[in-house]
Each structure stands twice: as C-alpha cells, then as structure tokens.
Chain A
Amino acid sequence: MSPHENTAENNPPEIDRPSIEADIACVGFGPATGGFLTTLNRAWIENPADPAFESRVAPGLPIQVLCYERADDIAAGVSGVVSAARGIRASFPDLNPAEIPMAVPVKSERILYLLDPIGASRRPWLLRIGDRILSALSATLGVRDYAYELPWAPGFLHKTGGLVMSIGQFNQWVGTKLMDSGLIQIWPAMPVSFPLFAENANRTGDQVVGIRLTDQGVDKHGQPEPEFVAGMDVRASLTIVGDGPFGPIGTAIDKRMGMPPGHDKREWALGMKFVIELPAETTLEAGTVWHTFGYPEPEIFGFLYVHPDRLASVGIFVPSWLDDPARTVYRYLQHFIQHPALWRYLKDGTLRSWGAKSLDESGQHGEPFLAGDGYARIGEGSGSTNMLAGSGVDEAWTTGVQLAEAVIELLHNRRSFTQENLSATYEKRRRASWVEYNARNAINGRNGFHIGLVPGLIGMAMAGITGGRLSLAASIPPAHKQIKKSRAQSLKDLKRRETAMLAVEDGRPLHEALMSARGWPEIDFDGKLLISQQDALLMGGKVQAIPGFANHVIFRDAGLCIHCDDKTCIAMCSGQALTLGSEGAPVFEREKCVHCGGCLWNCTRADAEGLTNIEFHAGAGGFHSVEN
C-alpha cells in the first residue's frame, strides 16, 4: 500500500477491512458495463490461452474481472425501452429479438401532441391559442381523443429498425450469456461505497486503485451492530465506472478529480413508468411506439411502447426545467394514462410493474473526464445520452464496447491503465464514433426549454434538422435554481393555496393538495391499474430493502430543511420514501426508496459551492420486479 494512500472519506481508518485483488473491477451492471464485459468476454473466449488475458493478480488464472451491482438482481434495472439498437446489433449481428423476453422490433412510430381534456394544466397563452385552433379544426386536422398526430417527424427522432425492450430483461439476457463462460463474476446486491484513491506513480495527482464495498450489519446511521461486516476493499489496476448518472463512485471521482472546464450536470428528468398488461381485446400491436408531449403539463414528455404478450410500457418524464416547486410524478403519470388517447387502450388493463429513475439530460454539457489513472467512465454517467433523440441505452452500450476494445489493446501491448494510455485508446475511439458525432449535434438541442416550452421545441427541431449547426443559446442555471419559489401571483393562486393548506392539515402531502386545488380530479382507484403510490411499490416495483445497511439519502443540514418552504424533494420522491417529519425536516425510509435519485436534484437549498443539501450514498434494496 502506498504511504500516500488516501482511503475513502468518512470511514474510520481503524476498521480492519478485508481486501482482495482483481485485475478489473466494474461498478454497476447496466447496458454500458454489459457492452464492456460482452466485448472483453468474447475476446477471451476466442483465445483463452492468449497471454494478454492472463491474470496479473492470480498468475496461472485468467484475468479476474469482478462486477458489483447495487440492485438486488441484475434484472431489476429501470431505464428507457425503445432503442435504435445500432451498437447492440453491431455486437450481436444475428440478434433474434425473440431470445430476449419482452423485446420486439419497432413496428410503427407516432408523435402525438396531447390537448388537455380537463383544463387543469399550466399552459402558456401561445399554447392555449394553438389548442383552440386545433379544437376548432379538429375534423380537418384529424384531432381525435384530444390528440393531434404530427403528420411528419424529423428523422433524428425515429427509431426505425430499433427494438422495444425491457431493460431488466435485456440486462438479464446479457448477464446470463456472460456468466455462462465462467470468466466474469457479477455480484448483485453489492453496493459500492467509495473509490479508493492513491497518489499516482508520477506523483502528479491521484489515481484510482480500486473500490470499497458498503459496510453491512449497521444501523440506519451507519453504526456497527453485532452482525457488522466491514465493506471489503477490492483493489484493481482498472476500475470501470458504470454506475449511472448519480452513482456514488462517479460522483466521488468528479468531486476529487473535478469536471472539465465549463461542464456541469444541470439538466435532469425523472422518468416514471407503468408496465401494463393490456386488455385481451387490445388492438395495439407489439412494436408500437408513441411519443407524446403537451399533457399532463406542457413540459412533460410521455411514451407508450408495446412489448409482446400484450404488455406495454407507459410513462412520462418530468424535467428539471419544469419550474413549479410542487412538481411531482406519480399522480401526473396516473392522469397521463387516463388521457382519452391512451385510456381507450389502457382501460381495464392490469398493472404488472412500475419503476422510476433519474435521467441525466445534460449530454456533453455534463460529460466528466472520461478516463484517469486507473479508471474509466462509461454509460449515462459519462454523458453519453443523446437527449435530442431521446436515446441512451445504445449509446451507453457502445461506450462500453469502445472501452473494452481499448482495454484489450492495452493488455496486448502490455501497457498500463494510465490516463494517457486510456485517452489514447478509449477516448480516441469514442471521439471518432457516431456516439460523439450525435452528442455534438445534440449538445445545445434542448437549451431553448430554459426560455420556454415553445422555444424549446423550436430549438430541438432546429438542432435536429441542421445536425446541431443551428440551435438556441440559453443560460442553464444549476438544477436547484430551476425550481421557482412558490408565491401566490393572484387572488386565484392565493385561494388555491389556502385550499391546499387545509388539505395538508388533514395529513395530505402539499403537492397532492395543490394539484387537487388546481383542478386535477382525484384518482378513482380500481385496485388493478389505478392504485395508490404505496400499493405501486408493492404490487408494481416489489420494492424492498434488506436490513443491515445505513440510510443512503442524507440531509446534510436539517436546519436548512426546516426553513425550506417548498420541500420539492418530498413532492418528487418516486417511492414516497421522503415524508415530512414532525420537526419540519424530511424523514427518509430506505425500505421504500427506489434509488431514482430524484431527491438529489430537487433540493432548492445549496451552499456557496453549489452543493445541495442532499447526499445520495450507496445503498442496497430498491426494485425487485424484473419486468421493468
């Protein structure tokens, strides 16, 4: 161990930790790590006797590759489910979608502008005028069920030739193939708390020398209990960081190494979806893809993707630039599925699963350093998502493939995993690829939404059609400044607030009460598809958390929370794991947390450095359903 070794923060150095060595340690198992491990595994299978694949830590054995995934099962992932699958098909040229449960080729695509049949959404005057025109000319323009289908959609939005998939099942399929070979070990239910840093060989900065697994057998405050097991250190010459947009390892590395100049993750969205079993008489065919916008709020984009066996993924994205502090997701999703254009197909359906996750919508604005001494970043956490096309899975997969090709090259040439070598191989490949090309085109594509909805749509179209050559400029504030302070602007607002506060006194969450006060009808629960949010945790996501782990959502300063009027973190919590405590600060229940990360970017309180009052650490538990 280097005398300069600096182990992770907040861990008392006197704990005797077990330690093992691996050649490569991977954090997170999703599409990106799937792409990395598939490519590496395949190269090894083709020539297992190649000395390049001999382990440096266990001579005589093949390269030791350990992958740690936080979720209970590798099939418990949640993410977008329509993909152009360009990179995926390149890895699996003979791919038969029928091999992957819930996967089907894209058959048809529609883009629908949804009008508001209730009259409760917050629409700017320009949109209201447009709605009136559409309504007046509904017969001529083909407006049906309060929906207008765009007669033409720009090419950058199409997923022709792509796949509708369940990310959980895709991960399961990839993982099964990997584990068949015996080279790769994928460990579920093993959250990784921190990267291990040390001074690099040139003494010019830090390197990553491995990872530390999360302590187990602790109380919710992290204090050891009788069954305490100290998190093991896994030392590796290369750490692959694929832990998503807010994973603790990626976050710790960003904090330690800094971000490239001008880069910051400022744009987010919370995606939430239901997986619905459609009624037996459904006419929706597998492979049907709908994209929607306009309802339940103009800022909220929606989707419907139809899988085989009468299953459909239906969901919405609530973006960080929806500036209402009372923004929330679950109830909006329930209103979304009851929009006439969707409800005619979804009515009498059954909820099969439910899930939510935060999406990093910053694109290249939020790209971190892709590689450093001893580590490399892949997937969504590396800024690979193309927010213009709404595409992330394929990009993530491809970054993993690119890294694997680079690692294989370095292994063959017996070169070490330094920043210089990884940049010359991995970063070079990535910058020369279609992932980079598309990311560059998309970089300013959504700036306009920080001016308004209509400018945002215009900006997207401009950027998409011109390949990024034209776009709207805008100043993007940090996420916590994108939430407007709530204030009554009219007598009507004041009365609504008063009505809502009465409901709050009865124990109703403020955001729920505000929505009702604004005119959103109460949800008529049917126990089958329209169910309470708590029931969705159990019937849908099958959310659970085994005991013995500390709380992973931490409020740094309770005083800031007590004085916060909005508490948007509570409104946006996907699992209602955050509720208002008796002392005025949020209370966190880890057993309900689905690890969506929504709280992280919905805190309106930040310090001088821009760090909000919420920290999101590594934690076990969350979704247990595999139909996401």
Chain B
Amino acid sequence: MSLHIVVCAGIVPDPLQTLEPVAGPKGPALKNEMMLPAVLDPWSASALYEAANLVSKNLAGKIWLVSLGSKAKLQQVMMTIAQKVGFELIAIDSPTTGFADAHATAAALAEAIAAIPGLDRSKLLLFGGWESASRGAGVTLQIVGERLCIFDQFMGVDQIDMREDGSFEVLERVEGGKHQTSVCTGTPAVLGWATGNLQEPRNNPQMGMANMRTVMPALQKAKPVALGGDAGLQYLSASLPTQQRQTRVVKDMAPEAIAQELVEWMGAE
C-alpha cells in the first residue's frame, strides 16, 4: 500500500555543546543560542528514519519532512540529514527556540502540511517525536493532528507494522517499561515516536548531494512565518536539572549486592 508520510521535525541546539538557560528580554532563552550548531530533534529523527524504513519495506510511498527554523540553521542541519534518507523538504523560515508556544508552532506546521500539493489524506501517516528535545512539552504533534482533524493518535511509539488490508499494529510505551499493542483500521493517523528500533543510518554523500538538489530550492522558497499566539503564555522560571552524584568505589562486592544497593538508593530518592 502506498503511504504518504509527513514527518514533523524541529531543530534543536546540539546537546553536546554547553547549554545554559538565561533570562532574555522576551523570556527564557539559551545563552548564545545563535552561535550553537543545530541538529534535528532526536525524537523526530527517529521518526524520520522509521518513515524511510516503512517506505522501503512497503516499496511504495513518499516522505515529506516539514521543519520550522531559521533558514540558515535548517540548511546546516539538512547537510547531514539529507545524507541519511530521501525526502522532500517543506521548510518554514522562522527564528524559533525551545521556548516557542506549542500552539503557535502547531498552527504553522498544520497550515504548511495542509498546503502540500498532492498530499493524499487517505494515505497519510503524520510522524513526529512524541516530545521535543528542547522542552519536552509533548503536545505539538498532537495539536497538529487535531488541527488536521486526525484523531487516531499514538504517542511513545517504538514500532509499526503495516498489514495487507491497510490496517496497522502499533507498539506504544506505557508505564513499567512495557508496550501497549494497538491496532488501527487505517490511515490517516498520528504517530509520535519514541526511539523506535532502528540504528541511525550512515551518511551517504551521494544521497546527500542528490537530495540537496531539491532541498536547496525548497529552502529558498521557505515562507517566513512569525509565530504568534504567545498571549497568555508566561514562563516563570527555567533551570537545568540538578546533577546528583554519589560515587563509591568498591572491591570484591558481588554484582547482585551492588544492584540491590542501587535499587534501594533509587527507591529512596
């Protein structure tokens, strides 16, 4: 069955850099965010790789990557992503940060998706990360789905298996480290991915250069959008999670005893 998969993927500052929240004139921001290189949001990246895998397994389908960010940073990120999977880019030019309002972001994404020429809603799977690496609110994709009137939604997905009759089985993460199995009668549907089960595809320069022939024009055509809708949204504070470190070096302690002590320590915290 031919699928139309739209992957919503934001870009976030490279987590390997030094990231510090600061109070900016318009609310919280990251210190020197403009100087930080960006990567594709890791959760969304998993979604993209799963999309590519699904299309290759089903031997039919098309992938669009919808991404909102500043054009220059989008191009830098695409230089890497375009080497891994094939897609058609729908770029939205907007200087956004991890503190952007989820509703405003979702509105811009939904509008861009609705305008994709040739998109067949009856074949549509809307993929994305179940939350973003920037703030982890976990609502943007769901709002995009609602705006597009797609009400079959699955969050924390690690696996999808298509069936011949067009239905599909989904594994979603639930408490206790388990998965819930659901069966959906068919598309359209929204899937917010967790990590999935695939390795990150290797860079393939030839694929990258072939992709860039369409990605570059898409970036040039990117519509500038000013995210609105911040009225009523007020950040009271932002801080990094505090580190806890209690290291003890032991000798001749059985692994079971070490594990027991760790379990008790985690339980106590």
Contact = CB atoms under 8 A, between A and B. Distances in A.
Interface stretch (B59-67, B108-116, B198-206, B249-257): B198-206
B7 interface: no
A353 B34 CA distance: 17
Interface stretch (A106-114, A177-185, A294-302, A313-321): A177-185
Contacts of B206: 18, 20, 229, 232
B71 interface: yes
Contacts of A309: 32
Nearest to B210: A20
Nearest to A624: B16
Interface in A317-375: 352-353
A625 interface: yes
B180 to A, nearest CB: 33
A299 to B, nearest CB: 33
Given A180-B71, A217-B202, A188 B18 contact: no
Contacts of A231: 205
Contacts of B208: 187
B4 to A, nearest CB: 27
Nearest to B215: A185
A604 interface: no
A134 to B, nearest CB: 40
A22 to B, nearest CB: 9
A217 B205 CA distance: 12
Contacts of A102: 35
A607 interface: no
Contacts of A187: 79, 205, 208
A548 interface: yes
Contact of A179 (B75, B204, B217): B75
Contact of A626 (B37, B75, B79): B37
A352 B203 CA distance: 30
A169 B72 contact: no
A172 B202 contact: no
Contact of B202 (A175, A186, A229): A229
A179 B220 CA distance: 10
Contacts of A216: 202-204
Contacts of A18: 206
Interface in B50-70: none
B219 interface: yes
Given A182-B220, A542-B16, A626-B17, A188 B203 contact: no
Given A180-B72, A190-B205, A352-B18, A75 B37 contact: yes
Interface in B119-165: none
Nearest to B72: A176
Interface in B174-217: 202-206, 208-209, 212, 216-217
B34 A627 contact: no
B36 interface: yes
A187 B78 CA distance: 10
Interface in A199-223: 213, 216-217
| Best-buried of A101, A179, A217 by chain B (most CB within 10 Å) | A179
B2 interface: no
Nearest to A173: B35
A227 interface: yes
A180 B35 CA distance: 16
Contacts of B14: 73, 624, 626
9 contacts: A73-B14, A172-B35, A179-B72, A189-B80, A231-B205, A542-B17, A625-B17, A626-B35, A627-B18
Interface of A: 18, 20, 66, 73-75, 101-102, 169, 172, 175-176, 179-180, 182, 185-190, 213, 216-217, 227, 229, 231-232, 309, 352-353, 542, 544, 548, 624-627
